[in-house]
Amino acid sequence: MKTSFLGADLRNANLVGADLSNTDLREANFDNANLTGANLNNAILKKASLQKANLSGAKLEETNLKNSDMQWSEFQAAELAGVFLNGANLSNAKLRKVDLTGADLRWANLSNVFLTEANLTNANLLETDLSQANLEQANFTEANLITTVFNGANLTGANLTGADLLAAKVEENWLKKLDTWQVIGVKEIQASYEIGEEALPQYKYKLIKIKK
């Protein structure tokens, strides 16, 4: 049975290195808390607030963060393999060198985030908003990027090998920019997709499969 801190007010708390693994922290408030190096593996933080929290080096493997609010938070080198971030808001968060292998990021807001050198191999980013994100050298190998929003994102040196980009939201010249960005897997992408018009009013273009 999980220890419960349901709805706990932990704003500004110093939780450096704390062991909160397997803890029920639903709807808890960690705004501005210091969770550097904390162990949150398998914890439940659904609808929790972690705005401007510091989770650098924290362990969040298989952690449930569905619909949580983590705007402006710091996740430098955090371990998030298999984490559940469905519908979470991570806009403006810093996730440099994080491990998001196999993570569930469906419908999450990652606009304006720093995901430089992050590992998102086999991650699920269905309808994830990556607009204006810094994705330099991020690894999206075999990731699900169906309907993912890439408008304004920087993909310099990113790895898109084997990723599914069907209906991803992009700019009109996005396929050409892949060469400038020196994206890994660019030839496969350019041979498989073309730019089509997007029906949704907030976007103009999307990737469509080339009929062979």
State the DSSP code for 210. Answer: P
Predicted local confidence at residue 1, as pLDDT:
52
Q: If you search the block for the tokens 């710091």, which residue do you land on? A: 74
How far, in Å, CA of 140 to CA of 176, rounded?
Answer: 19
Per-position DSSP letters for 53-74, written without gaps between them = -B-TT-B-TT-B-TT-B-TT-B
Average pLDDT over residues 18-33: 97
Q: Is it the case that residue 66 has pLDDT exceeding 70?
A: yes
How far, in Å, CA of 61 to CA of 63, rounded?
Answer: 5
Average pLDDT over residues 43-58: 98
Q: Are 109 and 127 in contact (CB under 8 A)?
A: no
Q: Are 134 and 113 in contact (CB under 8 A)?
A: yes
Instruction: Spell out where the chain has E strands.
Output: 3-4, 23-24, 169-170, 193-197, 205-209
Predicted local confidence at residue 200, as pLDDT:
83
Average pLDDT over residues 153-174: 97
Rg of the chain, C-alpha, whole Å: 18
Average pLDDT over the chain, rounded to whole?
96
How far, in Å, CA of 81 to CA of 100, rounded?
Answer: 5
How far, in Å, CA of 161 to CA of 186, rounded?
Answer: 8
Residues in the chain: 212
